Amino acid sequence: VKGLGLTGARVSLRTLLPEDERRLYAEELSESLGSRWRLGGATPSPRQHSASLWANVLAQYAIVKTRQPAEFVGVTAAYDADHRNGHAWIAVAAVAAYQGSGLAIGGAGLFIDYMFHEWPFRRLYAESMEFSIRAFSHASPAHLQVVGRLKDDRWHDGRFHDRLILQIERTTWEAGMGKELADRRRRMEERSAPG
Amino acid sequence: VGLKRVPPTSAPIRLRPVSDQDLGPLYRIASERPEEWARVCHRGVPSPAQFGDRLWAGVLAQFIIELSDGVYEPVGLVSLHSADFANRTAWLELVSFGPGNQDGAYASGLLLLTRYAARSWDFRKLYFETLEFQGSPLIGVPGVEKEAHFREFYYHDGRYWDRMIWAIDNSKFEPESLIS
């Protein structure tokens, strides 16, 4: 995978390309995902969708399978970074073909490593609707702490659902990742070393 | 500090629209106490030229709270912003002009705004946020619950402070009965 070089055993991160944006547009407006994702059933123009995809974004990558042909799995992003107070928000989404596979969460794990490696954030936050929280069952509960539950916040599929606010603490994340994280960072540094 | 301990003021109080003449005093508050005005100052204090736009960005309704001690004087600003009509939620904000303890006036101002909101739009929930050192006169009122608690979220005065999100459930919250 050419680009960032963040490569895991099953998934990797690479630059988000225009064709990825077109794919995401089609996915987000699809019958299966249209009302579940952030658009909540709305159908913006492709240009509006692209702008919203990059609004207040600090970093954003495509998640692809590491094994060729490197199929597109989803997208992960950091936004609303608050460097003054040491936190940012992250998001992850899988396309319909990889919903529930755990691959997008694997990509989010690489991305969280990247965020903590590149910036001195103390913690990262994420939002999830209660009907999407199953996607996080592939993540270690120790890394994810629910710090908020906005009850009946958003309408979906005939009723209001809770919006959850999740926290990932740097110290907890790094302690939990331990040797695996240290090894991955060493490989990253070796790949980025000149020559 | 809840309304049980800080009842709405019995002095004459009113909400009036924000005018151009208010921008100078409001900008001074943003400059001097940005930590108390998250909506406008969360990315730093805006320039005077940007301030007006930032003050109105995403705002549905906002008013100056005026308290009368013979003559009406401004004591705070209440705003209703970030309305989500699809899901029938919006956010409340109170900015005190200080110094001086005007908690009764702030309680009354917030209640008048929630009543205004209830008469104008069919919101199910109103959210507001507080930092640990701020409090709100609405905390402790029936129908008001804490729904999120961010530990050590905001750096101020040498340490990190918690941020809380509170929700007013309009099915359980009755501003009419609380306004004297």
Q: 3-state DSSP call for residue A159?
A: strand
Q: Look at residue A185 in the predicted model and tell me its pLDDT.
A: 63
Residue B4, pLDDT > 70, answer: no
pLDDT of residue B26: 95
d(CA A115, CA A13): 13
A contacts of B149 (beta carbons < 8 Å): 147-148
What is the least distance, in Å, from the CA of B110 to any CA of chain A?
Answer: 21
Residue A118 CA to chain centroid, in angstroms? 16
CB B64 within 8 A of CB B15: yes
Q: Is A96 left (phi over 0), alpha (psi -120 to 50) or beta?
A: alpha
Question: Least CB-CB distance to A85: which of B89, B127, B153?
Answer: B153
Tokens read off for B128:
């507001």
Q: CA A106, A111, A114: angle at the middle one, nearest 5?
A: 135
Which tokens belong to B90? 């919006």
Per-residue pLDDT of chain A (195 residues; tens, 9 = 90+): 344 448 888 999 999 999 999 999 999 888 777 667 777 788 889 999 999 999 999 999 999 999 999 999 999 999 999 999 999 999 999 999 998 899 999 999 999 999 999 999 999 999 999 888 776 666 666 778 999 999 999 998 899 999 999 999 999 998 877 556 666 666 666 666 654
Write down the pLDDT at residue B173.
Answer: 83
CB A108 within 8 A of CB A61: no
Residues facing B159 on adjacent strands: B156
The pLDDT of residue B36: 86
| Adjacent-strand bridge partners of A128 | A164
- The pLDDT assigned to A181 comes to 62
CA–CA gap between residue B66 and residue A101 (Å, rounded): 57
d(CA B93, CA B131): 12
What's the whole-number mean pLDDT along residues B165-175? 89
Region B25-40 average pLDDT = 91
Contact across the interface for B150 and A154, Cβ inside 8 Å: no
Alpha-carbon separation of residue B68 from B11, B14, B159, B166 (angstroms): 6, 8, 38, 30
Q: Among all residues of chain B, which has the CA nearest to that of A153? A: B87
ipTM: 0.83
Which residues on neighbouring strands pair with residue A161, listed in sequence order?
A: A154
A-B CB pairs within 8 A amount to: 44
> Which phi and psi (to 5°) does residue B36 adopt?
-100, 5
pLDDT in tens, B83-133: 999 999 999 999 998 776 678 889 889 999 999 999 999 999 999 999 998
Judge: B125–A85 Cβ closer than 8 Å, yes or no: no
- In angstroms, the CA B95 to CA B177 distance is 24
- Under an 8 A CB cutoff, do A154 and B87 touch? yes
Count how many residues are written for chain A: 195
| 3-state SS, residue B78 | strand
From the CA of A38, how many Å to the nearest CA of chain B? 13
| Among B87, B150, B160, beta carbon nearest to A147 | B150
Give residue-wise pLDDT tens across range B139-163: 888 899 999 999 999 999 999 999 9
Q: How far is A191 from chain B (nearest CA, A)?
A: 35
What gap in Å lies between CA B135 and CA B1, rounded to an integer? 7
The pLDDT confidence band at residue B6, using thresholds 50, 70 and 90, is low
> Judging by DSSP bridges, how do beta strands B72-84 and B13-17 pair with one another?
unpaired
* pTM, two decimal places: 0.86
